[in-house]
Structure 1
């Protein structure tokens, strides 16, 4: 593959950078304080084609790929959004756009994709359950077939963005686990109305990522027409894994941008802050070396993420690359935010200087959407061929 950034990609980055700078650090600080979704920014991104960057032109998108989406997210993140913007692209362009375009019916594509691309329609995904976190095969939410409809019951947790979502990608079993030959059989994906009265939500109080609300979701006798099934009944695990790899890539792009933002905040402060013998603290190797090392790591994560995204765009297996990039980026981005807080000292703890927000937000992504430990399990088993450990 060719890692050279094209002229068109540079123009894409420049265009979104202008919007990103208009919605900079102060905008995100205010939204974080009010626990508000960034409707103004999202609307602007939709009007200018950035939400639909990877959706085919046939369905109202720009017709590029996940590589370009990663670049868009990086620019937004490093201009002030931090890691939260990766979640925004995860919710609608990935859970909605990618899943429908790659696995949905033609009717679903024509109904949903233009509205996703324009920013008119928001999505969320309901996968995680109280007793089925990383082990998604243990979900118990069940869809019972009745004529032309399914009746769905179950409970989900840590469902992000459901409060502003029009539609939900709902993951449920259509065959109980004890009745299938393989655990990956019998799982199906549904497109449902997130505002349906059969769906009740309850917000979860949390440390950060306040612009994207997370909820408990309770589903009781939700009636869904068979036309809202994604692909084949019982074959949803394959579609889900494809979606989750894309989820890793956009998460990593947000982490790369966050690392660059934290680095800039730390470096700028270190040049201005003078102590002792009228020397900027940035002149001291105790300040320089940790930042330099973490900067190298975030650059490596970016390159691996571009590789994962390129493979994804070519429909080539990319799980190893996507997971590796996310592991490195999660560690490096958190390290840079934490080091930025240390460089700024007391001011790093003050909301005025922005570091504390991105520090709070980025901590989540050592856990979500997949934990570092589960990535290491994946690498050991799939990359190294070692015995399954769980």
Structure 2
């Protein structure tokens, strides 16, 4: 009978992928990525939006007396006007708002005084041929962004406290620590991408950061619920170590995690690539980008980081440590028995002449326990 394909074995939870057993490799990769992210925080910092850095925003209509302006034309004109008003000022990329006759371009610049704004608008009227009343400007203070940041940090702390309390009550403190570590890794890596690539941080980005926390937690709880089911009463047996039972749970929920992640990323990808890319909605870009990056890291961290961290913590527990040692010792003894049996059998004997010894080797990663009936035991009744 042909062996089922990888897709079939993934859906059945029998892919036998050794994820938890390679936890040292995952921890090394995670540590390297975190160090890169922290290095970027220190060296590059973040590209703060006008709401956080403060500044002046200019809005210019896309159509002027039958002529359609391009983003490049508006960007160059605003940059020239702002630098003439204040040589030390700078501008950011142009964003298009709206479509058709109502379309306009928004350009953010450094903070300017009222006189400097008037001078810049006069230059734009001359260079672009736009009426002065159609060019709007607004001043944004950095203090507003500071308040948003304070509220976001407060919300994050409250969320994490509630999450830890729930996980301790629902599972145990080690699972709470593993889930919290996964959430922190997700946030740090997402922030690292923003720092490395230079994506602008706006209030929509902050909202997206808080949103991905709940999504990441959902996937981790699904995996941990299966781990709890597989490890309930594990110390009463001697067939699997805690890490092997955890790895089985990861294999059994792997396809669910991947499907959930794909289903969640598809609409977010549409929001990002269609709404922001094709339609030019700048706000959708800020929100969609952080959701897309954060959810992607959330799926990966729940599979390859949260469960290995839990396994590493549980292996330090005295009861689990003793159980693991007992399982490994039993396997070693049975392996020795098989080796001695091979030495004493006739030269012309075949493998079928040697009695099979259940549990003589470690279960394959992700393998399910074998079902045995009493009628198949030596001397048992059929």
TM bucket normalised to smaller: under 0.3
Under a length normalisation based on structure 2, what TM-score does the superposition of the two structures give? 0.26
Q: Which has the higher strand share?
A: 1
Answer 1 or 2: which has greater helix percent.
2
TM-score normalised to structure 1 length: 0.25
Task: Work out which of the two has the higher radius of gyration on C-alpha atoms and give 1 or 2.
Answer: 2
